[in-house]
Amino acid sequence: MGAVIEIKYFNSFVLKKTGKEGSSNVTRDIIWNGSFGVPETVAGGYPVVDMASTFEDSDWAIEEARIRGGYNNTSTDYGARAYLVEEEPNSVIRFNTLIYSGIFNSRTGINNTNVFSTAEDITKSADPANGSIQKLFAEDTNLVIFQERKISRALIDKDAIYAAEGGGSVTSSNLTIGVIQPYAGKYGISKNPESFAVHGYHKYFSDKNNNAMLRLSRSGIDEISSNGMRDFFRDELNSLNNVGTGSVIGAWDVYNKQYVASLQQYNSDANIYPLASSYNTLSFDESVLGWTSRYSYAPQTMFSLGANFYSVQIENKQNGKLKLWRHYDLNANRSNFHSFNSGSSVTFVLNAEPVRSKTFKTISYEGNNGWELLSLQSDNTGIDFVGTNNARTMHVDQVGRIRSYYEGEYVYDNSGNVVPRSGYNAAFGTLDPPLSRYYAGFNRKENNYVSNVVNFSLPQPGEIIFGEQISGVKGYFVTGTIATDATTDVGGEKQLFSIESVYTTNNGY
């Protein structure tokens, strides 16, 4: 069923769509908007609007275009259109330009936020050679402008006057945005405004174009990724976005007073919500000017509220369901992020007397019970060609895992499982099984834990005694990893104060 509109003069009314579409959910354009001709659907000489099949009657309104609908009577059109310089203006994307509207004053009731007067100078352009403007940050009476390849600041309600000698002074002005003053250094925020975080007068962000993590403060721009992590960020930021899309999510952790950055590479499946296929989440601590921790979670966003730090992660990648997680909750297990418990680990380097070859005989740590040594390995002593195919072989001395919960004597059962002394009776039915006894783990004296180092390396060229026949690890330095174990007070507090080793110097053999 349709609706027929009978008119005497085709230019005496305006047909407008005012409401939403009907229940049939059929998308159609507005049939007639003003006096641009007769609608397309014409039956019997009359314009016909098929409202029943597409829209409800209440979705349409008819307005007279001339007073009383009389022929050649005064037309009631839009009248004068303010600030319109073209009948059909074309939009232009000015990626390097700022624009501002009229003022808003709630006290006096003035609201000109939708007024953009072309009679006034309401735009301010940055150098287009530095790329698009990615982020703005208002700080006191300055506006910090983050472009892809440059960081600048624009004066607000003031301007700078420069003398012929090159000096300048700031003066009050009725300009909303004054002169744009660049910070020293060819740094920008690339296309990762999500990496921005602020605390006090410190502003943190990433610059993928320069493979750097940056801090903007009163002294200017500093490259904080150069504090022991230059190679890491060079590789990780350079590889970001190589496959699919990636982002650098940043936030200020108000609880630990750290800048947290998560470098994430997303999968390229458009049918699921973005979920990081690989990631690195790290924190930068101002008190030590270094990157102190790496975390085993990839947040969608992070933020601080009050005295707490929160992160949000996708729980279901199919429907995009999110989970909000409050960090540092004393009622939750430690090292547990978004219901995933990964434990904590510390990688260390022991390099006393770096020009001398040494034998590291023991390993010890000071702290709580519940730590185990995952690995201990010397530096590479060289590469040799072996076999008929000239295969390259590197030689290192190394130690296997030293478990904190195998303290004291233990044996291996017939399946190769480790059975501690306390489990002899349950496993073998006797406290004295006829099996070889071994000893491993840390001996505790007060809160200091010590273990001897048993070598299990393969023989190197020229070696006569090797592996378990010798004690200790030979090398100029050793690299080790110590981590929380999976059985001792799971989720509890485990402190680690120091790691050391007793060593002797040798002649390299």
What pLDDT sits at residue 447?
77
What pLDDT sits at residue 83?
55
What pLDDT sits at residue 480?
92
Q: Judge contact between 193 and 249, C-beta under 8 A.
A: no
Nearest CA among 484, 468, 317 for reference residue 398: 468
CB-CB neighbours of 359 under 10 Å: 20
What pLDDT sits at residue 103?
82
Helices and strands counted in the chain (H then E): 3, 42
The amino acid present at 58, given as its one-letter code, is S
3 state SS for 410-457: EEECCCCCEEEHHHHHHHHCCCCCCCCCEEECCEEECCEEEEECECCC
**DSSP 8-state class, residue 468:** G
What pLDDT sits at residue 271?
55
205 CB-contact burial (10 Å; exposed 0-12 / middle 13-18 / buried 19+): buried
What pLDDT sits at residue 384?
64
Spell out where 100-225 has E strands: 104-105, 110-111, 123-125, 133-139, 142-147, 151-162, 168-182, 197-199, 202-207, 212-217, 220-223
Q: How far is CA 309 from CA 88, 122, 289, 333, in A?
A: 50, 39, 21, 16
What pLDDT sits at residue 136?
94
What pLDDT sits at residue 508?
62
What global pTM score does this model have? 0.68
* Distance between CA atoms of residues 283 and 260, nearest Å: 4
CA atoms within a 13 Å half-sphere pointing along the CA-CB vector of 167: 2
Q: What is the full per-residue pLDDT of the chain (509 aa) written as tens digits?
A: 444 555 544 555 555 554 444 444 444 444 443 434 444 444 444 444 444 444 455 555 566 667 766 667 777 666 655 555 556 666 778 899 988 888 888 888 888 888 887 777 788 899 999 999 999 999 888 899 999 999 999 888 776 665 555 555 555 556 778 888 899 999 999 999 999 999 999 999 999 999 999 999 988 999 999 998 999 999 999 988 765 678 999 999 999 999 999 999 887 665 556 677 789 999 999 999 999 999 888 898 999 999 999 999 877 766 677 889 899 888 888 888 777 777 888 999 999 998 888 889 999 999 988 898 888 888 886 666 665 555 666 677 777 777 765 556 778 888 878 788 888 888 899 988 888 877 667 888 877 898 888 887 777 766 667 777 677 888 899 999 999 887 788 888 889 999 999 999 887 66
* Distance between CA atoms of residues 69 and 37, nearest Å: 17
What pLDDT sits at residue 28?
44
To which residue do tokens 């060289």 refer?
382
Nearest CA among 46, 45, 52, 35 for reference residue 6: 46
Find residue 170's DSSP bridge partners. 160
* Distance between CA atoms of residues 457 and 441, nearest Å: 19
